[in-house]
Structure 1
Amino acid sequence: MTSIDLNSDLGESFGPWRMGDDAAMLQIVTSANIACGFHAGDPAGILSVLREAANRGVAVGAHVGYRDLAGFGRRNMDPSSDELVGDTIYQIGALQGLARAAGTSVRYVKPHGALYNTIANDARQAADVIAAIKAINPDLVFLALAGAPVVKQARDAGLTVVSEAFADRAYNADGSLVSRRLPGSVIHDPGIIAERMLKMVREKRVTTIDGIDIPLEAESICVHGDTPAAVGIAHTLRETFEKRGIELKSFAGVSNG
């Protein structure tokens, strides 16, 4: 049976400001990328989400980002290597402590926002993130943009890498994500999203914003938790896959029923 992981970025609420419906998403996804406090999230909220993930049998990953609460981690930055390595280790370590208290453990790392997009092609910043992961726990899986140079770079450095596709984001012809500043960069229709991801799983292709098909092979699919229709999109994806005989299963070895 064909299987696919379904992940979402969670734990991004901050105090009284709510971001997404984490409880509902944790009933659907198989892996949860949990904010570590630098781009979003506060310790109490993160701990609550981790406890719910543990109860649901959802695999947990550290969603590390730039130190950018005001910009939600979506602004390009150029920290020194010492800063980026230290910041990445700090975030993973913080989440490991909270996860242990919640009865679960951090199994993988997925960079967030601008950091994610930057290291896809920036070898220096990618090397810093890779070095940080290896320093704290080289057994952590690295979740990265399918087809990007960082995938080979991380594998060559000895990390286990899982390639990721984005259900609700438009693609350029070179396999990069369309900038959020441009119209059409985020896809909102659950039916359209489900059909394009079904094509990706079955045919290893995705249709770009220009209407052409490009190769795309991924083991995990992300639905952004802060997208307004996120829960509906994730539900439609799961339902579509299950009806087509595609198993929802975490790459980290945990399965959410």
Structure 2
Amino acid sequence: MATVDLNADLGEGFGAWSMGDDDALLGVVTSANVACGFHAGDPQIMLATCRVAAERGVAIGAHVAYRDLHGFGRRRLPVTSDELYADVVYQLGALRAAAHAAGTRVAYVKPHGELYNAAVVDRGLADAVVSACAAVDPGLQVLALPASQLLHAASAHGLVPVVESFADRAFLADGTLVPRRQPGSVLHDPGEIARRVVRMVAEHRVTAVDGTELEVRPDSVCVHGDTPGAVEIARRIRTELIAAGVELRPFSVTAA
């Protein structure tokens, strides 16, 4: 039977401000990319998210980011490799403590927003992120787009690389994501998205915005928690995958 992980970016509120329906999504997804306080999240939200994830058997990943609460981590910041290394170590430490207090652990790392997009193509940034992960916990896995510098860096530093694709984002012909500032970069129709994901998993294909057919073999598929209708999208994906004979389970368990 084919298996795949369904992940979502969660814990992305801050103080009295909330983002998305984390409780509902944690009843659907199998892995949670938890914000670590730099683009979103705070100590209470991190701990609460880890507790619910632990109760529901959802794997936890550190959603590390640029230090950019104001821009939600979606702006490129001019940081040195040493600064980025230290920032990732700091974020991992915070989430690992929250997960431990909740009776679970951080199994993997997935950079957020602009840090993800930049480190996919920039080996220097990828090495800074991944070397920090390896220093904190050499058992961590790294989740990113196929053939990305992040996955190459993971292999070079002895961490397990895990291939990700995206349910609700459009792709360019080179396999990277269409920038959010461009029209059509985010998909919204739950039925269309679910059929697209089933094709990714069953046929290993997805169509780029210019019509190019891309080969994809995802271990995990992401639904953004801040996408409007994210809960409905995730539920529809789960339903369609199960109907297609695909088992959903955390990739971190599959690879263990």
Range class of TM-score, shorter chain:
over 0.9
**2:142, 2:150 within 8 Å by CA — same for their partners in 1?**
no
Q: Deviations over 1:193-224 (max 9, x none)?
A: 11111111111111111223111221000000
Deviation at 1:225, TM superposition (A): 0.2
Partner of 2:176: 176
Equivalent pair of 2:199/2:205 in contact (CA under 8 Å): yes
Q: How many residues align?
A: 254
Unmatched runs of 5 consecutive residues or more in structure 1: none
- 1:29-178 mapped onto 2 (5 Å cutoff): 29-178=29-178
**Match of residue 223 from structure 2:** 223
Instruction: Give the AA of the match of 2:74.
Output: R
Cα distance per residue 1:133-182 (max 9 Å; x no partner): 11100110111112323322321221101010000000000001000000
The CA deviation at 1:24 is 0.2
Measured against aligned partners, the alpha-carbon deviations of 1:46-68 in whole angstroms (never above 9, x if no partner) come to: 11111100100100010000000
Q: 1:17 deviation in Å?
A: 1.0
Percent identity over the alignment is 55
> How far did 1:15 drift?
1.3
For the Cα contact (< 8 Å) 2:61–2:110, is it kept in 1?
yes
Compare 129-138 and 154-163 and name the one that shifted more. 154-163
Contact kept, 8 Å, 1:32 with 1:58, in 2: the verdict is yes
Structure 1 consecutive aligned stretches of length 4 or more whose deviation exceeds 4 Å: none
* Structure 1 residues 73-117: Cα deviation after superposition (integer angstroms, max 9, x where no partner): 000123111100000000000001111111111111110000001
Q: What TM-score do the two structures reach when normalised by structure 1?
A: 0.97
Q: TM-score, normalised by structure 2?
A: 0.97
Distance 1:215 1:78 in 2: 33
Residue identity opposite 1:108 in structure 2: Y
Deviation at 1:23, TM superposition (A): 0.3
Distance, in Å, in 2 between the alignment partners of 1:226 and 1:193 is 16
Q: What is the one-letter code of the residue matched to 1:150?
A: L
Query: What SS is found at the alignment partner of 1:120?
Result: helix
1:197 aligns with 2:197: yes
Asked if 2 retains the 8 angstrom alpha-carbon contact of 1:8 and 1:32, the reply is: yes
Q: Is the 8 A contact 1:147 1:216 kept in 2?
A: no
Do residues 18 (structure 1) and 22 (structure 2) align?
no
Is 1:232–2:232 an aligned residue pair? yes
Structure-1 separation of matches of 2:112 and 2:54:
22
**DSSP 3-state at the match of 1:253:** helix
The one-letter code sitting in structure 1 at the alignment partner of 2:123 is A
